[in-house]
A and B are shown apart, each in its own frame.
Chain A
Amino acid sequence: MQQNSKPVDDSHQTPKTPGSPGFEPARQMAYMRRAVKDNLSRKIQAMLNSCVNCGMCAQSCHYYCSTGDSDVIPVKKFEKLTRLLRTHFHPLKSRLPFYGSKDQPDEQMMAALYKAAYEDCTLCGKCALTCPMGINTGEILSLARAMLCSIGRLPSGLVHPVETAFEVGNYLGLTTQDFVENIEWIAEELGDEIGVEGFTIPIDKQNAEVLYIPHPLEARDLPFLLMYALKILYAAGEDYTVSSYDFDTVNYAYYQGSKDNMMRIARRMLDAREKLQARSIALAPCGHGYRVMRWEAEKYLGKRFDFPPVQSIVELIDRYIHQGRIRLEKNKYEGPITYHDPCNIARRGGVIEPPRNVLHALTSDFVEMQPNRARNFCCGGGGGLASTGDFGKLRVTAGKKKAEQIRQTGAKIVATNCFNCMTQIRDLSKAYELGIEVKSVVELVSESLIM
């Protein structure tokens, strides 16, 4: 088959990510074959073989719920990969005349795969919960992502952040010097606010109890968000520190589907802890970052970390409240508050009750979305979609289900625990005129602290 000469959208043609050596057409197949070899595990093969075509997954996917387009039914999405694997990668079938081919799949097939893997699935895993066979379309499409990533065909939002993370150590390219300066500035501000003379934030302190890893956006553009978290740690009397070596929870390489790249970024955080000999790691609100550090990295390494499980900061807050280490002013915020479970924190991460405990401590008017907890719908901003500007419209369309869910609760404030979710829900609020405020749980807690 000849490669179609139709021009490819420029945004896919972004230059090589580390780990994706290039995209000369002649060698694409070799790269993709390699990616299949590295990523096609027994589990994925089993999932590709056990679908009963029952259609249960349709209503579980927020894409289908929002658009009703049959093309985004989960089984139809991974079908595209199944077909490609059969016709172009199967050792025998790919040699059959009129059926398979060993050449580059045509542009149409590749474009369909790209759309299914990067645009039409946020890897949220909700379908796995509904499927009678437990088929996780997101997990299957990670393989498709890995294949496309190997030939450099991935959304721009997943290219530069990863490159920058490799070069500088965080996805925004914030230098250590700037970070330290910002922390010092935050310390001054925070000191003023709580009225402590000469207040400092421990940087690179050895043997601390908790190493807090902020989101680089907090450290650069939204310092008050970082201030909220640090204020809580301070109020709880926690023996904490931040690292000047790694201050990045984000791991967009995970969304590339490339496990090796993912580990390269995750390794930096592990090294940071190692250097400081901190006892544990706590992460800023970040869904996929949590998932990677709590589960994926351990599974990749094939062994447990030799320190306690990585925690999201809400888990810490829940513990502080429980132990009476912080006191909160109840009902400081008026109106009903609801909580959006980020997929990677709840269903794919396992943190389900702590944020609820925290919110119950904050308000007596807590309302649940329907469905909630592990069954919550994805906001539509997962899978790295929120990081790519071009996907704005797509995200808003796919988030219709979420917007309806939020509207039904009648909540004034939507609290959540993930940067991407916050961005996305704010966009939804604008597009669907929900008239809500979107806040991080950390912010709500910090503002209600009784010092």
Chain B
Amino acid sequence: MQTVYYIILVPMVYLAFAVFIVGSIVRIAKIFREPPNPTPLEIHPVKKPGWLWTLTDTFLFPTVRRHKPVLWVFLMAFHICLLLLLIGHLELLADFAVFQVIPHEIFLGNGFVGLILAVCLLYFLFRRFVTPVKDLSVPEDYYLLILLFLVVIFGSEMDWARSWYDYGEMEVTDYRTYMLSLVMLKPELPYSTTFSGHSFMLILHVFFANLFLMFFPFSQLMHAIFSLPMNKLRRG
């Protein structure tokens, strides 16, 4: 069993990142391989300054707010939480003074970030069972949401255990040792990460996260990268 743990926690993480990076580059390269032709795409009226409207379009989803206000609330909550999550994970690597402008414990949000994400994901999932979204969803859409839900649930569990139930066997310092060692390419697994009662949570979280990363370049998740240039196109 320990071998499986090791494979998931070390080689698979490297593999996942490799697939993620290479896959994304290939996907972007595929687009840039095509000739830049002069098809005009902007929609009128053109508002100035274009780049500012592009940023609004990209980060505030005004079109969704206008047509689907409920979805918009979930979307905003979801994406803001994703951002907090990203910061949270970075802080597991090291302390960043910038993020401590508002002093907080690691992990950000005291467990609620994960909760909100989980709720949003359930909403997204149920939404996919209703027309017209049902009619245009492909199986990958459902897999993706379920996968992400699993990542979030197991990740949150560790957080909830620590911050709500004072579970003390796996500490931030342990995560930090593990993650930094990965970054330094000298993998090292602290005892608690593989032998404590909640180890399997960590293993599952990392396992699903790996799958998620490997799935990323081949799925609609590429919208995270494409949305900015795409919205710029529309703004002309």
Chain A residues with CB under 8 Å of chain B are: 39-47, 49-56, 58-60, 64, 70, 73, 75-76, 79, 125, 128-136, 139, 142, 295-296, 299-300, 302, 346-350, 352, 373-374
Contact = CB atoms under 8 A, between A and B. Distances in A.
Interface stretch (B97-105, B163-171, B226-234): B226-234
B43 A374 contact: yes
A39 B222 CA distance: 23
Contacts of A348: 43-44
Contact of A349 (B44, B132, B135, B229): B44
B183 interface: no
B120 to A, nearest CB: 14
Given A347-B44, A374-B44, A64 B132 contact: yes
29 contacts: A39-B37, A42-B31, A42-B32, A43-B41, A46-B226, A46-B229, A46-B233, A49-B31, A50-B223, A53-B136, A54-B64, A55-B132, A55-B136, A58-B136, A59-B132, A70-B131, A73-B136, A128-B41, A128-B234, A131-B63, A133-B227, A133-B230, A134-B57, A134-B230, A135-B230, A139-B39, A352-B44, A373-B45, A374-B44
B37 A42 contact: yes
B38 interface: yes
B36 interface: yes
Given A53-B136, A70-B132, A299 B40 contact: yes
B35 interface: yes
B46 interface: yes
Which DSSP category, helix, strand, loop or mixed, fits chain B's interface? helix
Contacts of B32: 42
B95 interface: no
A350 to B, nearest CB: 4
B64 A134 contact: no
A91 B37 CA distance: 21
Given A70-B135, A128-B43, A374-B43, A45 B34 contact: yes
A356 to B, nearest CB: 12
A349 B46 CA distance: 10
A42 B34 contact: yes
B222 A50 contact: yes
B44 A41 contact: no
B133 interface: yes
Contacts of B233: 43, 46, 134
Contact of B63 (A125, A129, A139): A129
Contact of B220 (A52, A73, A302): A52
Contacts of B48: none
A434 B71 CA distance: 36
A130 B141 contact: no
B64 A43 contact: no
A54 B67 CA distance: 12
A139 B67 contact: no
Nearest to B36: A42
Given A42-B32, A46-B31, A76-B136, A134 B39 contact: no
A354 to B, nearest CB: 12
B67 A56 contact: yes
B186 interface: no
Contacts of A79: 136
Contact of B38 (A64, A300, A373): A300
B135 A73 contact: yes
Contacts of B132: 55, 58-59, 64, 70, 73
Nearest to B133: A55
B61 interface: yes
A70 B27 CA distance: 29
B226 A49 contact: yes
A53 B138 contact: yes
B135 A76 contact: yes
B192 interface: no
Contacts of A142: 39
A384 B229 CA distance: 30
A129 B43 contact: yes
A129 to B, nearest CB: 6
